[in-house]
Amino acid sequence: MYAPDVEKQLEPLRAKVKEQGDIVRSLKTAGAPEMDIKKEVQILKARKKELEDIILKLTASETFDRKAMLDLIKRRFFYESSFAIYGGNTVKGQFDYGPVGCDIVDNILSEWHKHFVIQERMLKVNCSILTPENVLKASGHVDKFADYMVKDEKTGECFRLDHLIKQHFEKILSDKKTTEEDRQTINKKITLLDGMTMEEMNNIVKEYKMKSPTTGNDLSDAVEFNLMFPILIGPSGNLKGFLRPETAQGIFVNFKRLLEYNQGKLPFACAQVGNAYRNEISPRSGLLRVREFTMAEIEHFCFPDDKDHPKFNQVANTKLQLYSACNQMDGEAPKWMTIGEAVRGLTQNCCISQSGLNSLGTLKTLSDLHALNSLLRDTSYVSGYCPSQADNAVFEALLSKWDTIPPDLPQVKRWYTHMKSYTSEDRSKFIGESFNITEGPQQKKGLVANETLGYYMAKIQQFLEKIGINPEKLRFRQHLSNEMAHYACDCWDAECLTSYGWIECVGCADRSAFDLTQHTKASGVKLTVERSLAEPRVEECLTIVMDKGKIGKAFKKDAKVVQDTLNTMSEEEKA
């Protein structure tokens, strides 16, 4: 919450965001066509951005002269544009670090290595930058890693299409002669721009007779431009490839060897630091959008049905500013809470409801006990500061399911010992309504999907604070459902408030097993983990037995392709 006078100005904007958020929710509930939902989501994003821009304007507590800072950085050679002595021929979006810049980068990476790799006992790899095309085809980068662009027909200068249209529209909106009707039309097109196809954007360029912003020359038709740098590997030029756009794929393709090195055990994490390359159409904003940059990346592998983290309780009280998807859709501000509350769905109110009690699960697992320990850390009793029927229900559940309380749960042990001092008759007279600990698995509806994701979010918060980021200018923004990759179940971006606004600096996502599955299909090598079952299990499997002779006669030169396809089919596809 901000000052009352600021909140008064923000109130109508928050209401507009919430109204649009409700429209999106209702469309999803009704199963509306995806295109209709996308259009409404773009309007929601535009209203959300308008709200955030006004918040930044109204709450700015300090002035910052970015131009003076950039001048100072260049004069003292923190960094410089690459090949700067060649003047106009300088390659944009590439920078060279000077002595002080190198020291800063080295210090940050050294701290990152200590904070994550050493403390968490992670494995490390250093993989090739040159990546064959089939690897990035499997990961989806060849087909999806692209933007739309247009060219100046005389100079050949390239412009990213959506940025060009926005700049042109902003120029029209700033013109006092523009009518109110035209303003409304343009604003609507701006809100829908992110969801438009290349053809729709191309039509806008022609409709408004847009020219090159630097020369005034005509522009070419839009084309799709892949953001990866293509290369030819070897002297023959027959093996196509790319400079890697991210470091993660090197970890995924080495999963089998990493698992062997770790003696076949999960969970484990692997880190890699190295350069990545993206052929940005229009690099801008200094070091924020460049063509060559250093990535420090971690991939944590665990069983899909067990995403608890053994060290989660060490960070459970770490406070983060969380900007959840619901907050964004309702026009509300980010909220501070501990990562323990965010993952386990716990609150620290003076009373607890039946649904709140259910968030503790059935109290059969260590994870449930840890949740109870977290709840009792700041309260004397389950329901606050006096014994109630909630305490009685939890105590009875523990009494029937646990012989002893584990020693690493001091708050539960303290509370349990105190509860034992009461007789059964005394506990029956506790205030409040009676509660039941429901049998069966309980859905713990926290903001953050699981302990492992929450653990790394807390570690990221601690690291960013350690290297000097002001926690008041740091938040974790949850991806809206339409932003989320189709293989992710939850994704949060650590964003820093800069002179450019809120900028993503770290992405933290539960990627599921998408990458390993894709590389398994493409390579034919199983990137899976085997584990022993508690009891033997018999399952019927469909196995394809190929008659290579008949396949050869039927498909001739395509026979090998058919055989390879049959070998890589999943059980569902075979059925």
Give residue 359's pLDDT: 53
CA-based nearest residue to 24, from 10, 42, 49? 42
- Per the prediction, the chain carries an average pLDDT of 85
Mean pLDDT, residues 139-165: 87
Would you tell me which CATH number, out of the four given (3.40.50.1240, 3.40.47.10, 3.30.40.230, 3.10.450.50), belongs to the domain 147-225?
A: 3.30.40.230
Distance CA 272, CA 284 (A): 26
Tokens of 517: 């599955």
Calculate the alpha carbon distances from 500 to 80, 468, 558 in Å.
20, 18, 55
Cβ–Cβ under 8 Å, residues 45 and 16:
no
- Whether the per-residue pLDDT at 572 is higher than 50: the answer is yes
Which neighbouring-strand residues pair with 241?
Answer: 132, 231
Distance CA 336, CA 432 (A): 30
- Whether the per-residue pLDDT at 364 is higher than 50: the answer is yes
- Whether the per-residue pLDDT at 45 is higher than 80: the answer is yes
CATH T-level fold of 346-428: Glutathione S-transferase Yfyf (Class Pi); Chain A, domain 2 (1.20.1050)
Tell me 386's DSSP state: S
Distance CA 415, CA 419 (A): 6
Using DSSP, state whether 502 is helix, strand or coil.
Answer: strand
Give residue 445's pLDDT: 58
pLDDT band at 353 (very low <50, low <70, confident <90, very high): very low
Cβ–Cβ under 8 Å, residues 312 and 449:
no
Mean pLDDT, residues 108-117: 97
Give residue 77's pLDDT: 95
Distance CA 235, CA 233 (A): 7
Choice among 114-123, 210-219, 563-572 with the minimum mean pLDDT: 563-572
pLDDT digits (tens, 9 = 90+) for 373-401: 877 776 777 866 677 888 888 888 888 87
Distance CA 326, CA 22 (A): 10
Give residue 570's pLDDT: 66
Distance CA 128, CA 274 (A): 10
Give residue 348's pLDDT: 36
Residue 456: count of CB within 10 angstroms of its CB: 23
pLDDT digits (tens, 9 = 90+) for 482-497: 677 666 788 999 999 9
Distance CA 264, CA 71 (A): 53
pLDDT band at 360 (very low <50, low <70, confident <90, very high): low
pLDDT band at 573 (very low <50, low <70, confident <90, very high): low
Give residue 270's pLDDT: 98
Give residue 355's pLDDT: 44
Mean pLDDT, residues 332-361: 66
Residue 324: count of CB within 10 angstroms of its CB: 19
Q: Going by C-beta distance under 8 Å and a sequence separation of 6 or more, which residues neighbour residue 533? A: none
- Whether the per-residue pLDDT at 289 is higher than 60: the answer is yes
Give residue 320's pLDDT: 96
pLDDT greater at residue 59 or residue 438: 59
pLDDT band at 119 (very low <50, low <70, confident <90, very high): very high
Give the position of tokens 């469309």. Answer: 27
Cβ–Cβ under 8 Å, residues 414 and 420:
no
- Whether the per-residue pLDDT at 350 is higher than 60: the answer is no
pLDDT band at 456 (very low <50, low <70, confident <90, very high): very high
- Whether the per-residue pLDDT at 61 is higher than 80: the answer is no
pLDDT digits (tens, 9 = 90+) for 397-447: 888 878 788 888 888 888 888 888 888 888 887 776 666 665 433 444 578
Cβ–Cβ under 8 Å, residues 494 and 508:
yes
Using DSSP, state whether 476 is helix, strand or coil.
Answer: strand
